[in-house]
Structure 1
């Protein structure tokens, strides 16, 4: 069994960037501490550039860590044992100060084992002189620690597969997030790339996905822009650039002019996903370090509102019962990175009525909000309707229910509640009072 891989992934349109995958080994926990677990953090794979022309190969970093996951216990005296005997003739290792080497193994110390996946141990690894392309081996890891619950924690063994290869390796410099930006301002976005490979990159292809609250202009003559999405309003603009620059090993690349992002009046949580790859379709040593996300948080608000309906009908009649959401702005709201809806609308059907037509975006629920077990979607007492993953300023989304009046009950009310995707509130919305409404059938005169 393994705990899911830990890795930062930027998701936007075609997903231009992904961070390195890591292995996390599950702990074998003795009975005295069976409510906590110890984990090893290590990369699945390491690709080392081959040494060229008798010189030394570039250095790569292997980031390692230990952590546990129960905050009720203190875990100390962590020891991560790293065995590099499998790299003989393949790679050379330089140990950090927090590791005590003895031959081809070293014990790395963690006086206090944290609760997260920090990686304070960094090995410096380079391909051995004479190691040919295709040569490979493994680094293996074991971990132990003491717990305040009594006894010891022992992690399952973990491995990193190492291989020697040859080629370019463009590494994108990570962009720090920016917050507190005012609408109408301009934000500089640094774009720089270093070739950590052992061969030149013959050209650099840059792709950017820009959310609609930002305008980066024409960028350069080598770039083309394509709006993405359906309808008149496009949530994204894709910018493709092909530069003829040759980037030698150890060399760097930057755009011809500094990238500037103009912030629109309707901007809120904006981002530019930036990826760079070697031109000509060249295979890179590591394709997991080619991208970054420039996150730009704008000081703005969006007023989400929900509206119900008041309907009159006789027994046996079917009436349209629209439930309407509106973003009153001034900002648009988008979850393009996560792909989550911007919110959901919880609709309770009034007593004496049956939902005979249900919008596709609405899932049936029981009266208390549980899963609806029936295969038929109509006739449920309650529905949870998902909004899109983005809504423009002043945009309206309507959920067109149809209700059959089975029994006329004067003033029968169904509750309508707007809910955020996480937590209990929309942090950008200053007016939560209009997040609730009623669906009223045959109101009293």
Structure 2
């Protein structure tokens, strides 16, 4: 199944997520167009707060949507059939204008089906009076849509609705901040409301801060821990434990508003924020316990690659380093996606065979296709993955060893730096040094 996530520093701090995952039910079914598929966006589970002391229960929302995969197709007239017959005795339903109810079902309309998994239709649920915690019900979904080639049918999915009791700490999403000058200070808002039916007795706030930001001393109740290997740490974890009691409908704020100082080497920075009730209390909707404050500085980073010139007789083996350098001034990190900051494409010079391959490099055919041989040596081309973050002034070296089989005077292999996606690095002001040569037996 596919999942969407708000605010995680993927592959950097294991288990670190500022927000829980919201599910999208998937399964393989026939589609009108073989290269496209219609999907339903719906939560797997919803904890519905019960009323307290006979009072009316608070309202919760089920966010629903449709999307498809292929941008080459236009998908229209989406119809999502929502069946709430399984909520009898569990929850009352209020339908939005986009849905036409008939008994215990409703058909929700999507005139244009997007490519993204947005959920614009909000169905409101309220636990029925007297419903006990632990009682469950189910909502089921079916969907169709139209393309030029016919009707698309989505995999069926469902949401389990469970009556529960507890706090629901909701973290307001900070607006992204762009165009920030290095050295300046920007606010990082942390706004929390308890939308549950029980008080949160104590609040834990956890912050994961990228190295281009400095939050200073957040509060006396906080501890700080750098994360990552080596002398340069990509992240700082700040964990805060507060004794505040947040009643239903009440709010929580840090003792002092957060301020982030932007470092000279900052570019695309973030603070992943998570809040939880202390004491082991179950949060009714953990998916809204996290948010990301995105702060983008006005800065650049000059990426460069370097090859070398080597002389060797036939039968000799030479070490040929391929070197990447971030000349700064900014560091670059893909902490949210976990993608390498780029790759280095290396073509082997004519007349030579690679006998030792760096661990981060994968063999390719001459035209860039997959290398089918079981051994990694001997390929005509290699793609070397850079780390997911590189500090300013950091160098990454890929040490190849080449055996000269035939001396070819002035044999040149190309070295090309490539981004993980697209055709260039938007932050790089000098693309001329994104290419270099690896030369064997250069002309004198």
The structure-2 alpha-carbon separation of the partners of 1:149 and 1:441, relative to structure 1 and needing over 3 Å to count, comes to closer
How far residue 97 of structure 1 moved from its aligned partner, in angstroms, is 2.3
| Structure 1 pair 159–347 and aligned structure 2 pair: CA distance change class (3 A) | same
1:311-322 maps to which residues of 2 (within 5 A)?
Answer: 311-322=310-321
What residue number does 1:66 align with? 66
| TM-superposed deviation, 1:144 | 3.9
Gaps of 5+ in 2: none
- Aligned match of 2:207: 208
Show the counterpart of 1:11.
Answer: 8
RMSD between aligned alpha carbons? 2.1
Change (3 A) 1:10 1:148: closer
Question: Could you tell me which residue of structure 2 aligns to residue 49 of structure 1?
Answer: 49
Report which stretch shifted further, 291-300 or 70-79: 70-79
Displacement of 1:410 in angstroms is: 1.2
Question: Which runs of no fewer than 5 residues in structure 1 stay unpaired?
Answer: none
Kindly report which structure 2 residues correspond to 1:118-133, keeping only aligned pairs within 5 A, or say none: 118-133=118-133
What TM-score do the two structures reach when normalised by structure 1?
0.93
Paired residue for 1:165?
A: 164
Note closer, same or farther for the CA distance 1:26–1:385 as it changes in structure 2 (3 Å cut): closer
Deviations 1:333-391 (A, max 9, x none): 01111111111111112122222222111112222222222222222221111111111
Structure 2: distance between partners of 1:74 and 1:386 = 36
Q: Which residue is 1:436 aligned to?
A: 435
Change (3 A) 1:357 1:221: same
Contact 2:18/2:292, CA 8 A, preserved across alignment: no
Distance 1:71 1:348 in 2: 34
CA distance in 2, matches of 1:289, 1:92: 23
Aligned residues: 439
C-alpha distance in structure 2 between counterparts of 1:364 and 1:148, whole Å: 41
Q: Give the deviation of 1:151 after TM superposition.
A: 5.4
Q: Out of 22, 25, 38, which is 1:23 matched to?
A: 25
Matched, 1:339 2:335: no
Instruction: Report the CA distance between 1:52 and its aligned residue.
Output: 1.0
Contact kept, 8 Å, 1:137 with 1:161, in 2: the verdict is: yes
What TM-score, normalized by structure 2, do the two folds share? Answer: 0.93
Secondary structure in structure 2 of the residue aligned to 1:20: strand
C-alpha separation in 2, matches of 1:74 and 1:377: 43
Judging changes above 3 Å, is the alpha-carbon distance between structure 1 residues 141 and 377 closer, same or farther for their aligned structure 2 residues?
Answer: closer
Q: 1:156 to 1:375 in 2, by over 3 A?
A: closer
Q: Deviation at 1:19?
A: 4.0
Counterpart for residue 93 of structure 2: 93
Q: Structure 1 residue 139: deviation in Å?
A: 1.2
In the other structure, the counterpart of 1:187 is 186
Taking the aligned partners of 2:78 and 2:230, their CA distance within structure 1 comes to: 56
Q: Which moved more, 1:18-27 or 1:422-431?
A: 18-27
Structure 1 residues 40 and 25, CA gap change in structure 2 (3 angstroms) = farther
- Name the SS of the counterpart of 1:168 in structure 2: coil
Q: Structure 1 residues 27, 196: CA separation in 2 closer, same or farther (over 3 Å shift)?
A: farther
Tell me the SS of whatever aligns to 1:280: coil
CA distance in 2, matches of 1:152, 1:366: 41
1:26 and 1:39 in contact (8 A); partners too: no
The CA deviation at 1:150 is: 6.7
Deviation per CA, 1:50-85, whole angstroms, max 9, x where unpaired? 211001111110112234455566555443332212
Cα distance 1:308–1:68, how it changes in 2: closer, same or farther (>3 A)? closer
Matched-pair contact (CA < 8 Å) for 2:343–2:419: yes
Q: SS where residue 4 of structure 2 aligns? A: coil
